């Protein structure tokens, strides 16, 4: 497979597992095309043309050669300059790396991270929160995130990869969509009654089991293990800032009949608000959840004979066999 084929496969897998559904994604891409067509010549120059084919602003081809054939990839949750140097060091040890795959956004993908957050509106409205309320709360948070990431040094590791001639892509929301669907489907099938049942279901997933051994397994952040789950929503898994949607949502969740939230991670304000409104929170674990999402995509690469080298916390578990 080439770098481009790998990236395209990741995007398609993300669309297949997207909470909004493939038809809605098609509509959004058509909207982008219409926006582009309506622009003036100078505005067209500034338009990010990736938006015409890729609905995930936080996932991009970052640098290198898109036509390069790939036999071995280095995959990490966060790719900094040190991981780029690691790729070169592995080559020195006889394990050349043809492509680095980062999960968390770098470069332009980081600068545009907030643009995927509207996806969270769909996750919440599927769970019964009126669209206008979910949209209003998420939009406020989206603007806040946009301001917070604006001063970052977005291109640090991408420049390192360019200097050393290493190709690099990042796969963020497509992978998070995969973990969202996987966990959502499993919990629906198992229909847990108590919070302890949710923890036990999560621990049957190898990535979470491994995280338990590493000291970062699933944890209850609000409620206790004997609590009834009520209606479960996997709301903190995808849409840019998993788990940190907005603490304002918990009051509404309580009103609209949501009993338990499953998230990758949450902040203290989320925890306090959830406790106040009797909403349970189970934190599945950040890095294990990110790993599970990536693994679902990477299995397709492994099936094509590509070797996967894990770094930067990534827990590789293959379901390819
Ligand atoms: Fe993620
Ligand atoms: Fe993450």
According to the model, what pLDDT value does residue 248 have?
86
Average pLDDT of the residues in 34-38: 94
The ligand minimizing its distance to the Cα of 237 is 1
What integer best gives the mean pLDDT of the chain?
A: 95
Average pLDDT of the residues in 127-144: 91
Residue 2: DSSP 8-state: B
Average pLDDT of the residues in 24-41: 94
The answer for residues whose C-beta is within 8 angstroms of residue 54's C-beta and 6 or more apart is 11, 60
Give the distance (Å) from ligand 1 centre to CA of residue 62. 18
- Cβ neighbours around 50 below 10 Å, total: 18
Q: Per-residue confidence at 112, pLDDT binned at 50, 70, 90?
A: confident
Torsion region of 165: left, alpha or beta (phi above 0 gives left; psi -120 to 50 gives alpha): left
- pLDDT greater than 70 at residue 242: no
Instruction: State pLDDT tens for residues 55-74.
Output: 999 999 999 999 999 999 99
The ligand minimizing its distance to the Cα of 171 is 1
Residues in the chain: 321
Give the distance (Å) from ligand 1 centre to CA of residue 141. 17
The ligand minimizing its distance to the Cα of 239 is 1
According to the model, what pLDDT value does residue 199 have?
98
Give the distance (Å) from ligand 2 centre to CA of residue 53. 24
Q: Per-residue confidence at 240, pLDDT binned at 50, 70, 90?
A: confident
Give the distance (Å) from ligand 1 centre to CA of residue 38. 34
Q: Per-residue confidence at 96, pLDDT binned at 50, 70, 90?
A: very high
Give the distance (Å) from ligand 1 centre to CA of residue 242. 7
Give the helix ranges, DSSP H, for the chain. Answer: 3-16, 22-37, 41-46, 81-92, 107-111, 119-126, 131-149, 156-163, 173-190, 195-202, 206-214, 249-255, 268-276, 286-303
Looking only at the bridges linking them, the beta strands covering 219-222 and 72-76 are unpaired
According to the model, what pLDDT value does residue 114 have?
84
Average pLDDT of the residues in 124-137: 93
State how far the Cα of 317 lies from the Cα of 321, in Å rounded to an integer: 11
Q: Which domains does the chain have, with CATH numbers?
A: 3-172+289-311 (no CATH), 178-286 (3.40.1390)
Give the distance (Å) from ligand 2 centre to CA of residue 217. 15
Average pLDDT of the residues in 182-203: 98
Which pair of structure tokens corresponds to residue 120? 């969270």
The answer for residues whose C-beta is within 8 angstroms of residue 268's C-beta and 6 or more apart is none
Give the distance (Å) from ligand 1 centre to CA of residue 211. 15
The ligand minimizing its distance to the Cα of 175 is 1
The ligand minimizing its distance to the Cα of 173 is 1
More confident residue, 50 or 300: 300
- pLDDT greater than 70 at residue 6: yes
DSSP states along 9-25? HHHHHHHHT-TT-HHHH
According to the model, what pLDDT value does residue 245 have?
56
Looking only at the bridges linking them, the beta strands covering 219-222 and 232-236 are unpaired
- pLDDT greater than 70 at residue 293: yes
Instruction: Give the chain's radius of gyration (CA, Å).
Output: 20
């Amino acid at each position: 497979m080439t770098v481009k084929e790998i990236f395209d496969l990741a995007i398609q897998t993300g669309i297949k597992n997207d909470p909004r559904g493939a038809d809605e994604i098609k509509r959004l891409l058509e909207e982008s095309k219409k926006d582009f067509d309506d622009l003036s010549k100078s505005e067209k120059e500034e338009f990010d043309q990736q938006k015409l084919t890729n609905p995930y602003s936080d996932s991009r081809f970052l640098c290198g050669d898109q036509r390069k054939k790939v036999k071995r990839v280095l995959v990490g949750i966060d790719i900094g300059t040190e991981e780029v140097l690691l790729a070169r060091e592995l080559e020195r040890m006889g394990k050349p790396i043809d492509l680095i795959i980062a999960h968390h956004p770098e470069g332009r993908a980081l600068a545009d991270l907030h643009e995927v957050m509207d996806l969270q509106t769909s996750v919440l409205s599927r769970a019964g929160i009126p669209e206008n309320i979910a949209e209003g709360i998420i939009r406020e948070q989206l603007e806040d995130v946009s301001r917070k990431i604006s001063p970052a040094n977005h291109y640090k590791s991408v420049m390192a990869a360019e200097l050393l001639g290493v190709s690099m892509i990042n796969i963020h929301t497509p992978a998070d969509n995969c973990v969202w669907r996987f966990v959502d489907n499993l919990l629906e099938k198992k229909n847990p009654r108590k919070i302890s049942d949710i923890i036990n279901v999560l621990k049957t997933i190898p990535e979470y089991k491994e995280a338990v051994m590493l000291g970062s397994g699933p944890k209850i952040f609000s409620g206790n293990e004997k609590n009834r789950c009520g209606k479960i929503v996997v709301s903190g898994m995808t849409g840019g800032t998993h788990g940190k949607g907005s603490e304002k949502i918990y009051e509404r969740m309580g009103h609209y009949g949501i009993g338990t939230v499953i998230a990758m991670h949450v902040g203290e304000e989320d925890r306090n608000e959830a406790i106040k409104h009797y909403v349970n929170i189970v934190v599945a674990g950040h890095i294990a959840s990110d790993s599970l999402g990536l693994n679902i995509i990477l299995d397709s690469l492994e099936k094509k004979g590509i070797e996967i080298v894990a770094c930067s916390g990534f827990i590789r578990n293959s379901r390819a066999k």
